[in-house]
């Protein structure tokens, strides 16, 4: 009995891991494809036949074979540890995401809270890696990253909080379930973003903040290539670097999926009962998440990046006041209607 439940637990733990790994491989390929198409190129074309779909696998093989370089005078222990903490943090957060109506890693009542708390570990691992590298560029990247992630957590949490106020639960499964049905204006799905006009503003703030949390352009300062070489990853190579990449893409997906749960009905089908069910639920959930990921990529290949002080200005002087104001307005709206 006990072994069975442990096995079940492992299986449940394994599913998100497999999803992450497959997703990361294809997201890296996909990002290169998106970049290629946006830039009138083709992107990877040669490995694996059709549009070079196996490019990431080839890259992975290459990275596995690479020498593991640790710079002299680096803090070896922290240097080694950082990528794993980063990956563990983003992986652990997947536990509370409801992938479909019948699958959720851990149906926590404080799901959102857990997710936000565990993703804060990311900034610790970034600082760890940057500082342990004993490289000035890395240190710069780490410091920027710490400042950025700590700052942007505030608007993220505020916008999430606005959703929680509307939904009335910290459990992500509950939040999703209450978005099922197509009653808004008679035919639109009951997604939260369509329930309350101020939640649209909340979503915009949320989206901007997750861009910053996931280090995406225009907020990719921690690794801004043209200034800091590669930011906190400068000294990493081979598999350790691959772990960072993996964690980064996982983080991107995680935050996009969170957005999908909070604003777009999670695993709910947009057509009511049509194409609904656990399997379809998984499909819709991933589709929504991946669409947000695509938008992130699209933005990345369009915009230049902010400067570090502008980033802070945007956060503290615009997004945070706005999100507080928005929060109050949402609360008022909820009281009135």
Partner 1 sequence: MRNIVKKGWSTFRTIFTGMGITIRHFFSPAVTLQYPDEREELPKIARSKLFVNIDDCIACDQCVRACPVNCIEIDTVKATADVDLGRTSDGKQKRMWVTRFDIDMAKCMYCDLCTFPCPTECIYMIQDYEYSEYDRNNLVYNFSNLSPEKIEEVTRKAEEDKLQKEQQAETETVTTKPGKTAKQTGSSSAKSIPGAKATSGAKSIPGAKPKTVPGAKSIPGAKPKTVPGAKTIPGAKPKTVPGAKSVPGSKPKTVPGAKTIPGSKLKTVPGAKSVPGAKTRTVPGAKTIPGAKPKTVPGAKTIPGAKPKAVPGAKTIPGSKPKTIPDAKQIPGAKAKTKSGVKKVPGGGKGSQKPNSEE
Partner 2 sequence: MYRKHPTWELPQKTDAVMIEINTKGTDERKMVINMGPQHPSTHGVLRLAVTLDGEVVTDVECHIGYLHRCFEKYAEKMDNFPAVIPYTDRIDYVSAMNQEHGFVIAAERLLEIEVPERVEYIRVIVAEMQRIASHLLAIGTFGLDLGAFSPFLYLFTEREKILDIFERTSGARLLYNYMAIGGLMREPHPEFKSETAAFVKQFRPKIQELQDLLSYNSIFVKRTAHIGVLPAKVALNYASSGPVLRGSGVKWDLRKDDPYSIYDRFEFDIPVGSGEMGTLGDCWDRYIVRVLEMEESCKIIEQALDAMPDEGDVLQNVPKRVRTKPGELYARTESPRGELGYYLIADKGNSPFRVKARAPSFVNLSVLPVISKGSLLSDLVAILGSIDIVLGEVDR
Count, residues near partner 2 per rule CB under 8 A: 30
Integer Cα distance of 148 and 209 in angstroms: 10
Q: Please check whether residue 20 is in contact with residue 253, taking contact to mean a CB–CB distance below 8 angstroms.
A: yes
- Least Å from the CB of residue 73 to partner 2: 5
Task: Name the residue with tokens 């549009």.
Answer: 51
> Which helix (H) or strand (E) segment is 103 a member of?
strand 103-104
Residue 310 binding partner 1, by CB under 8 A: no
In the chain, how many H helices and how many E strands? 13, 2
22 binding partner (options partner 2, partner 1, none; Cβ < 5 to 8 Å by kind)? none
Which of 117, 149, 154 is CA-nearest to residue 222?
A: 149
CB of 306 to partner 2, least distance (A): 6
Instruction: Build a one-symbol-per-residue string for 32-71: x at contacts with partner 1 by CB under 8 A, - elsewhere.
Output: --x-xxxxxxx--x--------------------------
Query: What's CA 213's distance to the chain center, in Å?
Result: 8
In the range 114-143, which residues lie near partner 1 by CB under 8 A? none
Residue pair 238/67 in contact by the 8 Å Cβ criterion:
yes
Site map for partner 2, 188-217, x if CB under 8 A?
-----------------------------x
Among 150, 318, 325, 332, contact with partner 1 (rule: CB under 8 A): 318
> What distances in angstroms separate CA 10 from CA 13, 32, 286, one per listed residue?
5, 33, 22
For the CA atoms of the chain, what is the radius of gyration?
20
Least separation in angstroms between CB 295 and partner 1: 9
Select the binding partner of residue 120 from partner 1, partner 2, none (C-beta < 5 to 8 A, by kind).
none
| Span 20-59, contacts to partner 2 by CB under 8 A | 35, 38-41
Residue 213 touches which of partner 2, partner 1, none (CB < 5 to 8 A by kind)? Answer: none
Q: Is residue 309 a contact point for partner 2 (CB under 8 A)? A: yes
In angstroms, what is the minimal distance from the CB of 300 to partner 2? 8
Tell me the three state secondary structure of residue 151. Answer: helix
**Cis peptide leading into residue 218 (ω within 30°):** yes
Q: Is 101 exposed, middle or buried (0-12, 13-18, 19+ CB in 10 A)?
A: buried
d(CA 144, CA 148): 6
In residues, how long is the chain? Answer: 337
Is residue 303 involved in binding partner 2 (CB under 8 A)?
Answer: yes
Say what angle helices 320-336 and 197-213 make with each other, to 10 degrees: 150
For residue 76, state whether it binds partner 2 (rule: CB under 8 A).
no
- DSSP secondary structure letters along 110-129: THHHHHHHHHTHHHHHHHHH
Smallest gap from Cβ 205 to partner 1, in A, equals 12
CB of 4 or CB of 40, closer to partner 1? 40
299 binds, among partner 1, partner 2, none (CB under 5 to 8 A by kind): partner 1
Closest to partner 1 by CB, 188 or 303: 303
Give me the least distance between CB of 301 and partner 2, in Å please: 5
Minimum CB distance to partner 2, residue 221 (Å) = 8
| Cross-strand partners of 169 | none
Interacting residues with partner 2 (CB under 8 A): 35, 38-41, 73, 75, 134, 136-137, 140, 217-218, 220-221, 224-227, 229, 301-310
| Binding residues vs partner 1 (CB under 8 A) | 34, 36-42, 45, 298-299, 301-303, 318
């Amino acid at each position: 009995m006990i072994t069975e439940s442990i096995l079940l637990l492992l299986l449940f733990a394994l599913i998100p891991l497999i999803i992450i790994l497959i997703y990361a491989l294809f997201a890296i390929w996909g990002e290169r494809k998106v970049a290629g198409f946006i830039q009138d190129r083709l992107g990877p074309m040669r490995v694996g036949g059709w549009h070079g779909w196996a490019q990431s696998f080839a890259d992975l093989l290459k990275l596995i074979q690479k020498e593991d370089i640790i710079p002299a005078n680096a803090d070896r222990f922290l240097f080694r540890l950082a990528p794993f903490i980063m990956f563990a943090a983003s992986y652990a957060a997947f536990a509370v995401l409801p992938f479909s109506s019948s699958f959720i890693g851990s149906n926590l009542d404080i799901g959102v809270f857990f997710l936000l708390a565990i993703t804060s570990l990311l900034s610790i691992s970034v600082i760890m890696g940057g500082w342990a590298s004993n490289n000035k560029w890395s240190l710069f990247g780490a410091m920027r990253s710490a400042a950025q992630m700590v700052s942007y957590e505030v608007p993220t949490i505020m916008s999430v909080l606005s959703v929680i106020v509307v939904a009335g639960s910290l459990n992500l499964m509950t939040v999703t379930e209450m978005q099922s049905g197509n009653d808004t204006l008679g035919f639109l799905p009951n997604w939260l973003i369509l329930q309350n006009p101020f939640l649209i503003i909340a979503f915009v703030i949320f989206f901007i903040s997750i861009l910053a949390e996931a280090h995406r352009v225009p907020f990719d300062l921690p690794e801004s290539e043209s200034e800091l070489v590669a930011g906190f990853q400068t000294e990493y190579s081979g598999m350790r670097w691959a772990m960072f990449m993996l964690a980064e893409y996982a983080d991107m997906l995680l935050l996009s999926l969170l957005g999908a749960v909070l604003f777009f009905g999670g695993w709910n089908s947009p057509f009511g009962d049509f194409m609904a069910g656990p399997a379809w639920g998984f499909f819709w959930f991933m589709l929504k998440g991946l669409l947000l990921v695509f938008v992130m990529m699209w933005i990345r290949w369009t915009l230049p990046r902010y400067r570090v002080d502008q980033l802070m200005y945007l956060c503290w002087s615009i997004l945070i006041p706005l999100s507080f104001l928005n929060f109050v307005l949402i609360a008022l709206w909820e009281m009135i209607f």
